[in-house]
Amino acid sequence: MLQRLFIILICGLPVTVCAVHPEQRLLSALQSVQQGQMQQAESQLQSLLHDEPQFRAANLLYADVLKARSQPLQQPGMGITQSEELKNLLSEIRLRWQAQGEDVTVNKIPSALGRLDENYQHAIVVDLKRSRLYVFANHDGQPQRVADYFISMGRAGADKTRQGDLRTPLGVYFVQSYMPDAELEDKYGVAAYPLNYPNVWDARRGRTGHGIWLHGTDSGTYNRPPLASEGCVVLPNSDLLAVSQYIALGQTPVIIGNGLEWLDANQWQMHQQTITASFDQWLHDWRSLDVKNYLQHYSQSFNDGSKNFRQWSEHKQRVAQGKTHIDVSAKYVSLLLHPNEQIMVATFLQDYNSNNFSSQTWKRQYWQKESDGRWRIIHEGEATPQITATRLAKSTVVEVQQAN
């Protein structure tokens, strides 16, 4: 009946309607239109717009439903001048609809969540390709999805490389701080959560820029279209407030990808075992005092900011000469993967004891999967002071310094 809806309703999958969230109410109205129940769709949209009058995608659909009273719609958005704005609204509706009907994400886990330590109660995963933010709870080490939301990203799309390019970065980040609305310009909405962009890997790649946040929308706006920010990840204010309950400063990872790999529970467990084996073997070879095997876990492109691979190797060989035994273990290990590059971020509490030195240190490593299929460390250093301060309260501290 409505010739514009074949652009939006790509599939005929049923939608589970929740009368509470505005997105679900919009999708319920879309389903009514698809089924030819125009009076019901009109009523649903009137109710939705009464509660969320600034929901522009809902306004567009409502205008089409009213127009259908008198004549069939021959093209998208009969009541709106063809424009980039209309294109953005159609894209938003399509993405919202597709998110409800994609079996690929149902009861699945993103491979990016390789391993969550017990202190990471929640993790946030953003798929820019789907304009979607997913919240996962950590249930005994296995991620379980608890919520997901529509988001907007940078106007120029994904993969930020330089300051001012209006793109959203890809990678593994952490929420660093919280900014309430009293400290913000109106365009950032009710709150903002700055991320640690650029991280170590970004810096290694020469990526520039700053000020990448999770934040809300300005007053008078329900949400932005898919491509609308200067690089930040933007949610409707109500959704940002809902997400905020899952955020722990310095501890909540935010993984941003442009297309995610989704695994079922068995696939994910095998995936976790594979990447954990690389990490465990590194510890084993360190304990063995076999410096040659230990150094095979480090990339030729390793650089910790003060030592390259050659310097690191020479340093470790000198240190090993004075060791009669090494006992090193890792607690609270998390392994998070960059969704679009072969990069893994390991964060853990390292407990090191030898015949002449002992320390307990929060460490963060960046591993890269190289051409021979092996994961190797390309950067190693202490975790950020915020994470150290937050979590060391849960541990007995011997020394807070990097183990030699």
Rounded to two decimals, the pTM is 0.88
Range list for CATH 2.40.440.10 in the chain: 105-262
Which pLDDT belongs to residue 12?
38
| Homologous superfamily (CATH) for 105-262 | L,D-transpeptidase catalytic domain-like (2.40.440.10)
Count of beta carbons in the 10 Å neighbourhood of residue 390: 17
Which pLDDT belongs to residue 17?
38
Which pLDDT belongs to residue 5?
45
Per CATH, domain 263-394 is 3.10.450.50: yes
Range list for CATH 3.10.450.50 in the chain: 263-394
**Average pLDDT by stretches of 10, the chain with 404 residues:** 39 42 93 88 95 94 85 51 77 90 86 94 97 96 95 97 97 96 96 96 96 96 94 97 94 96 96 97 96 97 96 95 93 96 96 94 96 97 62 38 32
